[in-house]
């Protein structure tokens, strides 16, 4: 089956000599929900910029559903919908006009464009604001407007560059559910995000990019299996003056009520609770120290940083 997105040996060197991409290769399958992760300046936005024709590449090849961005540009672009990181619509235009105008750029007749604009603006909770000038919208609404605009030509691949940055939790959850819905309907979704919880919750496959190289490209499940140790934070009672003796579990006290314990994958939690119970320590609540993917991400990026230093 043709890949939704195929990137081969993609390089980008900016005019100032900065090498943002060092020959990356990547494939995203049709129907996938794919995350491209990496620290700031790693090359995520440059990659997506090249795919969406906003950045000129230095070398390499990009194909969207088999259409080359060099040889069959129009067809490739027809397949793509892009939601950029920063607001890039006319702040003086009305909400509905922005969406309808975008449809026009894809050659969609007015009548169809109006129907689709209504559908997506309703879907994204912006229909009531359709006649409002876009600069009057809140940050979350502006982000949803960009999603509606990107979907109006019904692309097969939707690219979202940090779609939920600066969006409150409730809205983020509703956007997640909307993205899951359109993915289930067949749209391939590629996103970058700094919220690793978002990638873990939404995506099936993941690539981590750092210093212009792909350092990991696998499924979320396979990636999480690499995680050997998890850190748990326990709210305990009664207060403790010293760290309780927990056989095989490295632990420390953050304060007299908070115990931080490292648990290896093969150890499990039952014995930990047993040992605490034997010492008459009650666990009132428990949480992960950090998102599981976040721990893995940090360790992979740190490892790559050490590799870059020796390169």
Partner 1 sequence: MNSRELFIAFWTIVVKEVRRFTRIWPQTLLPPAITMTLYFIIFGNLIGSRIGEMGGFDYMEYIVPGLIMMSVITNSYGNVVSSFYGTKFQRHVEEMLVSPIPNWVILSGYVIGGVARGLGVGLIVTLLSLFFTDLQVHHLFVTVFTVLLTSILFSLGGFINAVFANSFDDISIVPTFVLTPLTYLGGVFYSIELLPDFWQGVSMLNPILYMVNTFRYGILGVSDISIVFAFGMLLCFIVALFSYSLFLLQKGKGIRA
| Residue of 129, 142, 149, 211 interacting with partner 1 (CB under 8 A) | 149
* Interacting residues with partner 1 between 75 and 134 (CB under 8 A): 75, 77-78, 80, 82, 84, 86-92, 97, 101-102, 104-109
- Stretches 68-76, 187-195, 221-229, 255-263: which one binds partner 1 (CB under 8 A)? 68-76
Min dist CB 270 to partner 1, Å, is: 53
Footprint (CB under 8 A) of partner 1, residues 198-237: none
Structure tokens at 51: 């795919």
State the minimum distance, in angstroms, from the CB of residue 94 to partner 1.
10
Please tell me the distance from the alpha carbon of residue 210 to that of residue 178, in angstroms, as a whole number.
Answer: 29
Minimum CB separation of residue 311 from partner 1 in Å reads 25
Q: Are 31 and 188 in contact (CB under 8 A)?
A: yes
Contact, 87 vs 81, CB < 8 A?
no
DSSP 226: T
Given 5, 21, 52, 188, the residue binding partner 1 (CB under 8 A)? 52
Which one of 17, 40, 56, 310 is in contact with partner 1 (CB under 8 A)?
56
CB atoms within 10 A of CB 115: 12
95, 122 Cβ separation under 8 angstroms = no
Radius of gyration, CA atoms only, the chain: 23
Q: By C-beta, is 10 or 220 nearer to partner 1? A: 10
Q: Which is nearer to partner 1, 132 or 201 (CB)?
A: 132
SS3 content of the chain, % helix, strand, coil (to 5): 35, 30, 35
Based on the shown chain and the rule CB under 8 A, indicate whether residue 187 belongs to the binding site for partner 1. no
Give the angle subtended at the CA of 150 by the CAs of 124 and 136, to the nearest 5°: 55
Best CA proximity match to 182, nearest among 131, 252, 266, 120: 120
Least distance between partner 1 and beta carbon 147 (Å): 14
**Closest CB to partner 1 among residues 86, 278:** 86
Helix (H) or strand (E) holding 220: helix 220-225
What's the closest the beta carbon of residue 98 comes to partner 1, in angstroms? 8
Q: What is the DSSP string of 114-133?
A: HHHHHHHHHHTT-GGGTTSB
Of 53, 174, 201, 267, the one binding partner 1 (CB under 8 A) is 53
Closest CB 57 distance from partner 1, rounded Å: 10
Sign of the CA dihedral running 223, 224, 228, 229: positive
Count of residues in contact with partner 1, rule CB under 8 A:
34
Chain residues 153-182 in contact with partner 1, contact rule CB under 8 A: 153
Nearer Cβ to partner 1 (13/218)? 13
Q: CA torsion sign, 12 to 18 to 22 to 28?
A: negative
Binders of partner 1 in range 12-41 (CB under 8 A) = 14
Binding site for partner 1 (CB under 8 A): 14, 46, 49, 52-56, 73-75, 77-78, 80, 82, 84, 86-92, 97, 101-102, 104-109, 149, 153
């Amino acid at each position: 089956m043709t890949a939704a997105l195929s990137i081969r040996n993609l390089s980008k060197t900016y005019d100032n000599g900065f090498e943002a991409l060092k020959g990356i290769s990547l494939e995203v399958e049709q129907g996938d929900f794919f995350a491209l992760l990496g620290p700031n300046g790693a090359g995520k936005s440059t990659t997506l910029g090249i795919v969406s024709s906003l950045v000129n590449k230095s070398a390499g090849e990009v194909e969207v559903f088999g259409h080359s961005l060099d040889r069959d540009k129009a067809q490739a672009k027809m397949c793509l919908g892009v939601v950029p990181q920063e607001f890039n619509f006319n702040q003086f235009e009305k909400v509905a006009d922005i969406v309808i105008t975008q449809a026009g750029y894809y050659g969609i007749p007015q009548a169809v464009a109006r129907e689709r604009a209504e559908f997506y603006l309703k879907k994204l909770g912006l229909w009531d604001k359709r006649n409002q000038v876009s600069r009057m919208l809140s940050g979350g609404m502006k982000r949803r407007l960009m999603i509606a605009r990107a979907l109006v030509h019904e692309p097969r691949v939707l690219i979202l560059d940090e779609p939920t940055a600066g969006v409150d939790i409730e809205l983020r959850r509703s956007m997640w559910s909307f993205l899951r819905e359109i993915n289930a309907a067949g749209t391939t979704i590629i996103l970058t995000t700094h919220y690793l919880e978002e990638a873990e919750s939404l995506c099936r496959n993941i690539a981590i990019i750092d210093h212009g190289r792909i350092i990991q490209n696998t499924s979320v499940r396979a990636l999480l299996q690499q995680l050997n140790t998890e850190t748990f934070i326990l709210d305990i009672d009664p207060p403790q003056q010293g760290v309780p003796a927990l056989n095989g579990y490295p632990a420390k006290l953050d304060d007299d009520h908070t115990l931080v314990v490292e648990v290896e994958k093969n150890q499990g939690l039952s014995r930990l609770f047993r040992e605490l119970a034997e010492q008459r320590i009650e666990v009132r609540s428990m949480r992960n120290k950090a998102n599981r993917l976040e721990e893995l991400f940090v360790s992979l990026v740190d490892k790559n940083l050490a590799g870059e230093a020796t390169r």
